[in-house]
Structure 1
């Protein structure tokens, strides 16, 4: 079992990942700016750390005695109306901190449409995608470039359209560019994939798209 730091652990994919990692038997350090509230989970192996992913001292402290980092930061729709820099700035803090602490395994969440998966967006989806998510995904592009340029053992997960559905375990992991396409997937199933990557190294230095 691993000691896992989950960044952005208070809601969404991050909160689902905390619960899934605990269920899988790992020891979890949940890092967030707001309290982490779990329902029905065994918290005996959970440490909640309040911190800012943009502050080097907070991130370095959270990395102490950690084996794996799962980066699950997200923003609300309202935050997409202005400039978005959270993903790139937090990654610029995280990568050198991981190097300094000699933590090699990084599992990060971006999304379908980030990096080279952008060319797989259909013509009909591209304009609304850019109008709503353009600023965020421009920053996710930078985030992915930073991660790929690092020497870490990284995996970048690119989920499709997120839902609040249950974990089904029937999602597809699309690793080849010719197979990439958009679709839906629950946050719980994204968390399932992320937790599997703690011990599964078959997707190291890969950027799989996750959809049903």
Structure 2
């Protein structure tokens, strides 16, 4: 599979790029820094630039968006995602997986105890960006999946995780290692049962 990762120079995106490349996939990373894991095709550019986004997604079978916010930039995640969606439509690429955050939309109810309320208060600006991002994704007409992780850690991966929709019973835990999130994302790319769904994920 040819996979393009938007924001794959560090964090979860970089771990996903390494995992996908090791699994035999052809991986392209678009980042402002111009850095990418060894063996991965690198496209340097701002993902809000339509030309850079088009270069990155051209020829891809699937696209993953893992970008964070940018200091001083309003709704960076939303802006990047909308640009990438436009590039995907133009290039005829349909499969899209987007990293959002638990707390976006109606997903705060999946967090245990008072964490849902605390998350909505402490991360209000970031979650507003994710809400706008998720709306762009869900109205894109693409084959999309939104993944909402709990707090990300640098702990060693366990190789297991829990996935819930907001209509499922149960609560998610408060964190997940980035390496487990990356492995979860890689699996979702070929799981057609998750198309059109927003999924919470934790350890």
Report if the CA contact (8 A) 1:83-1:135 is conserved.
no
The secondary structure found in structure 2 opposite 1:57 is helix
Aligned-partner Cα distance in 2 for 1:126–1:206: 20
Aligned counterpart, 1:152: 142
Deviation at 1:84, TM superposition (A): 3.5
Deviation at 1:72, TM superposition (A): 0.3
Deviation at 1:63, TM superposition (A): 1.4
Q: Describe the superposition over 1:110-149 as per-residue Cα deviations: whole angstroms up to 9, x where unpaired.
A: 0110112134445633453234311010110011011111
Aligned counterpart, 2:104: 114
What root-mean-square deviation, in Å, do the aligned CA atoms of Structure 1 and Structure 2 show? Answer: 1.9
Aligned counterpart, 1:67: 61
Query: Quick one: which of 143, 160, 168 aligns to 1:170?
Result: 160
How many residue pairs match? The answer is: 202
Aligned-partner Cα distance in 1 for 2:174–2:41: 34
Q: Describe the superposition over 1:88-109 as per-residue Cα deviations: whole angstroms up to 9, x where unpaired.
A: 1112211121111110000100
Deviation at 1:179, TM superposition (A): 2.9
Aligned counterpart, 1:32: 31
Aligned-partner Cα distance in 2 for 1:159–1:13: 11
Q: Describe the superposition over 1:47-81 as per-residue Cα deviations: whole angstroms up to 9, x where unpaired.
A: 111110111111012111111000000137xx4xx
Report if the CA contact (8 A) 2:106-2:166 is conserved.
no
Deviation at 1:150, TM superposition (A): 1.4
User: Where do 5+ consecutive residues of structure 1 fail to align?
Assistant: none
Alignment of 1:191-206 (within 5 A): 191-206=182-197
Alignment of 1:70-81 (within 5 A): 70-75=64-69, 79=71
Report if the CA contact (8 A) 2:108-2:117 is conserved.
no
Aligned counterpart, 2:172: 181
Aligned-partner Cα distance in 1 for 2:88–2:20: 20
Question: Please, what TM-score do these two structures have when normalized by structure 1?
Answer: 0.88
Question: Please, what TM-score do these two structures have when normalized by structure 2?
Answer: 0.91
The secondary structure found in structure 1 opposite 2:108 is helix
The secondary structure found in structure 2 opposite 1:194 is helix
Residue 8 (structure 2) pairs with residue 6 (structure 1): no
User: Where do 5+ consecutive residues of structure 2 fail to align?
Assistant: none
The secondary structure found in structure 1 opposite 2:198 is coil
Task: Evaluate the alpha carbon distance shift between residue 141 and residue 176 of structure 1 in structure 2; reply closer, same or farther with a 3 A threshold.
Answer: closer
Task: Evaluate the alpha carbon distance shift between residue 83 and residue 75 of structure 1 in structure 2; reply closer, same or farther with a 3 A threshold.
Answer: closer
